[in-house]
Amino acid sequence: MSASRSITDVLVIGAGVAGLACAQDLCAAGLGVRVLEASDAVGGRMRSDRHDGFLVDRGFQVFNTSYPQVRRRLELRDLWLRPFTPGVLIHTARGRLRFTDPSRRPRTLPDLLPGRLAGPRDLLALGALSARDMLAPVRMVKHAEDRTTRTALAAAGFSEDFVETFFRPFLSGVFLEDELETSSRVFHLIWRSMLRGTLCLPGAGIQAVPRALAATLPDGAVSLETPVVALGDGGAVTAAGTEIPARAVVVATGPGPAAELLPGIDVPAYRVVTTYYHVAPGSPLGEPTLLVDTARRFLDTVVLSDVVPGHAPAGAALVATSVLGTDGEGRQGAVREALAEVYGTDTAGWDLLTVRTVPDALPVMTPPQPLSRTSRVTAGRYVCGDHRATGSVQGALASGARAAREVLRDLGR
Ligand SMILES: Cc1cc2nc3c(=O)[nH]c(=O)nc-3n(C[C@H](O)[C@H](O)[C@H](O)COP(=O)(O)OP(=O)(O)OC[C@H]3O[C@@H](n4cnc5c(N)ncnc54)[C@H](O)[C@@H]3O)c2cc1C
């Protein structure tokens, strides 16, 4: 085993958004930081690839402009964000319905009226819930009683029909589970962030977000293709056998590798999601809107090139469709069939460009769900990532920020 010469103040293992946020705060405090990343680029679960002229994220995800950590760390202008329409289309047995946030597009209010999507009781409940989640101090939302989202929605006065037609299909794509069993605190925080911000995609793919974070670090701070295989007494050991000494080590690797590097920490179970990327000869929708399905044959589908034209070359459209779980047998045919029905077009000729399965997509967040946990493990060892907070970009960034605060405090800074 060889040893690296200089002593780094802090080693951050993993260049996902949690590790990058942690490194950003430690560097800002004047510490010497090295980020060791196993793969060939930063981003972790927020990576994008080019495929035959198409831009494909490693699993479909959206970017929310209202996350406090996002606003604190990123210059949104530099991300060339392209918005979704504020709402969703819902494929139901009685045809396609539209839910549009009436606070942003008052002219669309009739879409929510009785006989269409919601009855008077649901409209009232929606107004009350949205006003409270949007305007109440965030600590009230964070400290409210925690129960399942299904229980909270029933308690808020929504009819079973509205829950099944709107909330369940829509939130299944947000929580990556379709039983509404996720913590109501998490639901209220997400609902708040949706009301306050805009759902969008960066023009250069979701990886633009971690790239922008990494760009704020000093040159040479991130070492790619440097997997860490063990933690030593005072640092970390890479797969090449180099021991890198450091005063503190922050493990920001995602749940599985974190449990290996730090035996004894508890990590939650994770949701698995698969995204199918199809190429169509033209947009089957013609608008940048998420489409969900009350039959729950998929979580959501979107014509990505309607949101960001650069996702597909001229003359083609790129459609992303996510399902729970893996790409099991018969799944591709079933998805293609469902897409033919919901888009009302023949999908037999659509090419399947690629399939992305993410085994550790989002932590299971059933109640009681702590919204943030300490990063301290043992003296000099810390852990951060979405599994220590909430499964979201906000959660991962906030967890990185907390780890940095705790390291600084322990190092007497
Ligand atoms: C399909 C999908 C959809 C999502 N949708 C949304 C959404 O719409 N909105 C939202 O807010 N969030 C969404 N998320 C969640 C969000 O992307 C994650 O919460 C966040 O990216 C997690 O970041 P992280 O830094 O905690 O972990 P990761 O991104 O997993 O980063 C861990 C890093 O550590 C590296 N690493 C692992 N082992 C080692 C090792 N031994 N040595 C060195 N490096 C190592 C990995 O290569 C990786 O780069 C989605 C996630 C997925 C996958």
**What is the spatial distance between Cα 361 and Cα 263, in angstroms, rounded to a whole number?**
22
- The two tokens of residue 124 are 């009232």
Among 393, 399, 402, residue to substitute to test ligand 1 (most atoms within 8 Å of Cβ): 393
Compute, in angstroms, the gap from residue 102 CA to the centroid of ligand 1.
Answer: 33
Per-residue confidence (pLDDT) for residue 187, from 0 to 100? 97
* Distance in angstroms (rounded) separating the CA atoms of residues 253 and 403: 13
Which protein residue has the closest C-alpha to ligand 1 atom 48?
Answer: 44
C-beta 27 within 6 A of ligand 1: no
Alpha-carbon gap, residue 33 to 179, rounded angstroms: 42
Identify the DSSP state of 76. Answer: G
Per mean pLDDT, which of 96-100, 108-112, 122-126, 355-359 is the most reliable? 355-359
pLDDT recorded at residue 108: 67
Rounded to the nearest angstrom, the distance between the alpha carbon of 203 and the centre of ligand 1 is: 20
Q: What is the pLDDT of residue 2?
A: 56
Residue 393 Cβ < 6 Å to ligand 1: yes
Q: What average pLDDT does the segment 303-331 reach?
A: 96
pLDDT in tens, 358-409: 999 999 999 999 999 999 999 999 999 999 999 999 999 999 999 999 999 9
DSSP letter, residue 113: S
In the prediction, which pLDDT does 141 show?
Answer: 85
Cα 49 to Cα 52, 207, 292, 301: the distances in Å are: 10, 9, 25, 19
Residues 6+ apart with CB under 8 A from 7: 245, 246, 247
pLDDT > 90? residue 1: no
Q: Which amino acid is at 6?
A: S
Contact 214, 37 (CB under 8 A): no
Mean residue pLDDT of the chain comes to: 94
User: Mean pLDDT across the stretch 177-188?
Assistant: 97
pLDDT at 218 over 70: yes
Q: So what's the pLDDT on residue 286?
A: 96
Residue holding tokens 């306050």?
A: 196
Which residue lies with its CA nearest to atom 14 of ligand 1?
392
Ligand 1 centroid–CA 355 distance in Å is 18
Considering only CA atoms, which residue is closest to atom 29 of ligand 1? Answer: 44
Q: Distance from the CA of 177 to the center of ligand 1, in angstroms?
A: 18
* In the predicted structure, residue 243 carries a pLDDT above the cut 90: yes
Domains and CATH numbers, the chain: 2-46+207-268+368-410 (3.50.50.60), 48-64+270-363 (3.90.660.50), 91-197 (no CATH)
Mean pLDDT of 22-40: 98
Which run of H or E residues covers position 12? strand 8-13
Alpha helix ranges (H) inside 94-229: 120-135, 138-142, 149-155, 160-162, 168-175, 184-196, 208-214
Q: Is residue 100 very low, low, confident or very high in pLDDT (cuts 50, 70, 90)?
A: confident
Q: Cβ(124)–Cβ(112) under 8 Å? A: no
Higher pLDDT, 116 or 413: 413
CB atoms near residue 185 (< 10 Å):
24
- Closest atom of ligand 1 relative to the 387 alpha carbon: 26
By mean pLDDT, which of 49-53, 113-117, 308-312 is the weakest?
113-117
The pLDDT of residue 116 is: 74
Q: Is the CB of 13 under 6 A from ligand 1?
A: yes
Nearest CA to ligand 1 atom 13: 392
Average pLDDT over residues 327-352: 96
Mean pLDDT of 79-90: 96
Q: How far apart are CA 298 and CA 343, in angstroms?
A: 13
Confidence tier at 142 by pLDDT (50, 70, 90): confident
Q: For residue 144, report the phi and psi dihedrals to the nearest 5 degrees.
A: -70, 160
Tell me if 369 CB under 6 Å of ligand 1.
no
- Match 């077009």 to its residue by tokens: 345
**391 Cβ inside 6 Å of ligand 1:** yes
Q: What is the pLDDT of residues 259-312, one digit of tens each?
A: 999 999 999 999 999 999 999 999 999 999 999 999 999 999 999 999 999 999
pLDDT of residue 120: 87
Instruction: Name the pTM for this structure.
Output: 0.96
Decide: residue 402, CB within 10 A, 0-12 exposed, 13-18 middle, 19+ buried.
buried
For residues 344 and 259, give the distance between their C-alpha atoms in angstroms, rounded to a whole number: 46
Percent of the chain with pLDDT over 70: 95
Residue 106: the pLDDT is 64
**Ligand 1 touching residue 228 (CB < 6 A):** yes
Burial class (CB in 10 A: 0-12, 13-18, 19+), 107: exposed
Is the pLDDT at 189 greater than 60, yes or no? yes
Let me know the angle formed at the C-alpha of 160 by 331 and 285, rounded to the nearest 5 degrees: 45
pLDDT for residue 101: 78
Distance 200 CA to ligand 1 centre (A): 18
Predicted local confidence at residue 118, as pLDDT: 84
**Ligand 1 centroid – CA 20 distance (Å):** 11
Cis peptide, bond prior to residue 368, ω within 30 of zero: yes
Given this model, what pLDDT does residue 115 score? 58
